[in-house]
Amino acid sequence: MKVTVVGAGAVGASCAEYIAIKDFASEVVVLDIKEGLAEGKAMDLMQTASLNGFDTKITGTTGDYSKTAGSDIAVITSGIPRKPGMTREELIGINAGIVKDVATNLVKHSPDVILIVVSNPMDTMTYLAHKVAGLPEHRIIGMGGALDSARFKYRLAEALEAPISDVDGMVIGGHSDTGMLPLTRLATRNSVPVSEFLSAERLEQVKEDTKVGGATLTKLLGTSAWYAPGAAVSALVQAIACDQKKMFPCSVKLNGEYGLEDICIGAPVLIGRNGIEKIVEIELDEQEKQKLSESAEGVRKTNALLEA
């Protein structure tokens, strides 16, 4: 299993590290345009192999896509991250050009690749990848909901004063502060609805804290987060590599599911060796349907900027 990670910055390096540590891939190639950065990160990570006990071979390259040839999976993390006070949508001008160029180069060298898009604004970058890559729809996955759901579980566990492994919850919709939709109605603690334990006000607070999860970290760190994004990507890569058919909310091209089409937005999917094995349609109540439709409007507005 060969995995390419484009972008050797904070998120790219973190996801390469998590993939290597889990030891399911034979090879990880990291590519960046900044001279020497990918080679340096790869070498540094390889020097953790004997300490962390993995055999995955990590190599780096400055822009040489021939080194990525034959990749089964490629992760696109190249592009600028947001600074405090910025929205993800404000990154589109620079990142659209980067994602277009990177996706085209990746597919040229690995026609059978499964692409995981991370660069922001992620739903729009995933939509762009569909336009330029010429891959079957099940082979393009946007990573956002897996991270947002992990942040939701963190906030739920905090509110419940429970271990994280006791809680379950999912975030669907657009990967933006206003667009994401933490499904509090379906969240559980040991299979019991969390509304049995938390007041409506506390649950509302959990929802709001989840939605600004990225912005909160950006304010603290001065740039966007990397550990949880890297871990979320590596979980998707592992689900593909090990054919887990595991459910994650991911940005996927919808063709009528949830009443939406010609859009990439977060919905629950089963991830396995073919990429998106199935889009799962969960029953939403009227309020959730309305929120998802508003979220889709927001994503469409950002998509329209691609034409500008």
For binding to ligand NAI (CB under 6 A), which residues are involved? 6-12, 31-34, 37, 77-82, 91, 95, 98, 101-102, 118-120, 122, 143-144, 147, 175, 223-226, 229
Residue nearest to ligand NAI (CB): 9
DSSP E strands, 49-203: 57-62, 73-76, 114-117, 140-142, 167-168, 171-173, 180-182, 188-189, 192-193
Residue 175 a catalytic site member: yes
Of 109, 130, 138, 175, which residue is the catalytic one?
A: 175
Q: Which is nearer to ligand NAI, 82 or 155 (CB)?
A: 82
Q: Is 95 assigned a ligand-binding role in the annotation?
A: yes
Expressed in angstroms, the distance from the first to the final Cα of the chain is 39
Query: Residue 146 is encoded by which pair of tokens?
Result: 């897996």
Rounded distance between C-alpha atoms, residue 148 and residue 122, angstroms: 12
Question: Which amino acid type is present at position 161?
Answer: E
Minimum distance from residue 107 beta carbon to ligand NAI (Å) = 14
Minimum distance from residue 195 beta carbon to ligand NAI (Å) = 27
Peptide bond into 84 cis (omega under 30): no
Minimum distance from residue 199 beta carbon to ligand NAI (Å) = 30
Rounded distance between C-alpha atoms, residue 28 and residue 123, angstroms: 25
Asked whether 249 and 217 are in contact (CB, 8 A), the reply is no
Minimum distance from residue 301 beta carbon to ligand NAI (Å) = 18
Q: Which is nearer to ligand NAI, 60 or 144 (CB)?
A: 144
Q: Is 11 assigned a ligand-binding role in the annotation?
A: yes
Q: Which is nearer to ligand NAI, 166 or 177 (CB)?
A: 177
Which residues fall in the annotated binding site for substrate? 82, 88, 120, 151
Where in the sequence numbering do the catalytic residues fall?
175
Which residues fall in the annotated binding site? 7-12, 32, 82, 88, 95, 118-120, 151
